[in-house]
Amino acid sequence: MSATPLDIGGVMIPTTTPFDPVTGEVDVVALRDNVGRWARSGVRGMVIGGSTGEAVYLDEAERERSWEVVRGVLPDGMLMVAGTGAESLRTTLRLTRMAVARGADAVLVQPPAFYKGAMTPAVVRDHYVAVADASEVPVILYQVPTRFSTLDFPTGLIAELSTHGNIIGIKDSRGKLETVAELVTHTQRGFQVLVGSGALLYASLEIGAVGGILGVANLAPRECARVSEHFAAGEMASAGALQKRIGALHNAVVGGMGVAGVKYALDLLGYHGGVPRPPLRPLAEARHGEVVACLGRAGLQVRSALAHA
């Protein structure tokens, strides 16, 4: 268990997972290349094994290998947060131990939600307390977007969990500023609130959030990081100008097209995007031009010949 609080402020990238187009296996060479490029952008760290990374489609060995590869690429001082949430407590604890062994600085834990009706606040509280008690690294709660199969955390539950010494923050992906404000107001002093919506980063910082884990940071890592940096430096006009660019890109591509859109955009930007793992489908060809236009409006340089195909 962590002796001192871990600072998770700033912007982290919930990285996509590239797959080999022939075998369908995780392409660790492509993952290494992407992370190496992202690491030079000024972001605080990487989250490996989140929703944008299609973690629900990865087996345990694939998650473990991804953590190992990423830890080997990240420079000293850059955080690696591992997504270790699973439906059972047993599996969550095992994944957490595996992540720690592979160098994770913290774990991001989504709630068990399949038996949704049985997941009362008391059950969920006990689940997280058990994970936090056992984990050798700090735990970050993950409020998964409510459009997915998940739970909607009551603010009172988060406030209660925020008093645990090894639960240091939450990634809230509900996309509601009023909820962010509730979390900042009602949680323990020092509890760190991160947002999951790139459209809300600047506004969330204004009301006390410390940063974000942003899907749009896969595409615009430097711009997302600089929103946080400019805000911290009191350069509000600069932060606001960048926020307009990344907010529109988030709404159109991340929010509007999901993983398939993010991956196609990565291909256009010269990263390794590729296609999602089935049953998710690639982005429909009819929407390709839409992504090109969105990237252009965000001021991002399209590098791939795909844009002209």
Per the annotation, the verdict on 171 as an active-site residue is yes
Q: Which two tokens stand for residue 237?
A: 């006009």
In 264-291, which positions are buried (b, 16+ CB within 10 angstroms) versus exposed (e)?
bbbbbbebbbbbbbeeeebbeeebbebb
Q: 3-state DSSP helix/strand/coil percent for the chain, to nearest 5? A: 50, 10, 40
DSSP annotation of 12 reads E
d(CA 283, CA 299): 22
As given in the structure block, the two tokens for residue 200 are 């809300």
Catalytic residue among 171, 176, 244, 263: 171
The angle that helices 89-101 and 121-134 make with each other, rounded to 10 degrees, is 30
Q: Which residue has the tokens 């913290």?
A: 106
Residue 263 backbone phi and psi in degrees, to 5: -65, -40
Q: How far is CA 52 from the centre of its chain?
A: 7
| Cα–Cα nearest to 294, from 249, 264, 251, 256 | 249
Residues whose CB falls within 8 Å of the CB of residue 161, separated by 6 or more in sequence, listed in order = 125, 128, 129, 132, 141, 167
Q: Which residue numbers are catalytic?
A: 171
